[in-house]
A = this chain, B = another copy of it.
Amino acid sequence: MELAKRRGFIWPSFEIYGGVGGFYDFGPLGTILKNKIIQKWREFYVIGEGFFEIDSPSVMPEEVLKASGHVDHFVDAMVECKKCGTAFRTADLAREQTGKDIEGMSKEEMEQFIGKNRVRCPDCGGELGKIFDFNAMFRTTIGPGSKRVAYLRPETAQGIFIDFKRLQRYARGKLPFGVVQIGKGYRNEISPRQGVIRLREFTMAEAEVFFDPEDPHHPKFSNCADEKIRLWRAEDEVEGREKLTEVTAEQAVKKKFVCNELMAYYLVLTKKFLCELGIPENAIRFREQTPGQRAHYSSETWDAEVDTARFGWVEVTGLAYRTDYDLSRHAEFSKEDLTIFRADKKRKVLCHVIEPSYGIDRPLYCMLEHAYTTDGKRKYLRLKKELAPIEVGVFPHLNRDGMPEKALEVHRSLKSKGFMSEYDDAGSIGRRYARADEIGIPYCVTIDHQTLKDGTATIRDRDTAAQVRVALAELPSILRSLICGEVQLGEVGEPVKK
B143 touches A188 (CB 8 A): yes
Tallying the copies of this chain within the complex gives 2
Which residues from chain B contact A78 at a C-beta distance below 8 Å?
Answer: 144
Residues of B within 8 A of A190 (CB): 143-144
- Specify which of A23, A30, A53, A57 lies most central, judged by the most chain B CB atoms within 10 Å of its CB: A57
Asked whether any CB of chain B lies closer than 8 Å to the CB of A44, the reply is no
Contact between A336 and B16 (Cβ–Cβ < 8 Å)?
Answer: yes
Q: Contacting A25 at CB < 8 Å: which of B28, B30, B56? A: B56
A480 → chain B closest CB, angstroms: 15
| Interface 1/0 per residue, A51-66 and B, CB below 8 Å | 0111111111101100
- B residues in contact with A170, CB < 8 Å: 8, 27-28
- Checking B61, B87, B144 against A17 with a beta-carbon cut-off of 8 angstroms, the contacting residue is B61
Does A20 sit within 8 A of B, measured CB to CB? yes
Residue on B nearest A8 in the bound complex, by CB: B170
State whether the Cβ of A489 lies closer than 8 Å to any Cβ in chain B: no
Name the residue of chain B whose CB is nearest to the CB of A53.
B31
- Whether A191 sits at the interface, judged by CB under 8 Å, is yes
B11 touches A142 (CB 8 A): no
Q: Which positions 25-76 of chain A face chain B at CB distance < 8 Å?
A: 25-28, 30-32, 34-35, 47, 52-61, 63-64
B-contact bits for A173-189, CB 8 A (1 contact / 0 none): 00000010000101011
A-B pairs, 10 with minimum CB distance: A28-B52, A16-B334, A26-B55, A25-B56, A31-B53, A140-B140, A138-B140, A57-B201, A16-B336, A31-B55
Knowing that A27-B166, A34-B55 touch, tell me 16 more A-B residue pairs with CB under 8 angstroms.
Answer: A8-B166, A14-B60, A15-B166, A16-B162, A17-B162, A23-B59, A26-B56, A27-B54, A28-B52, A28-B54, A31-B54, A57-B201, A58-B201, A59-B186, A143-B189, A172-B426
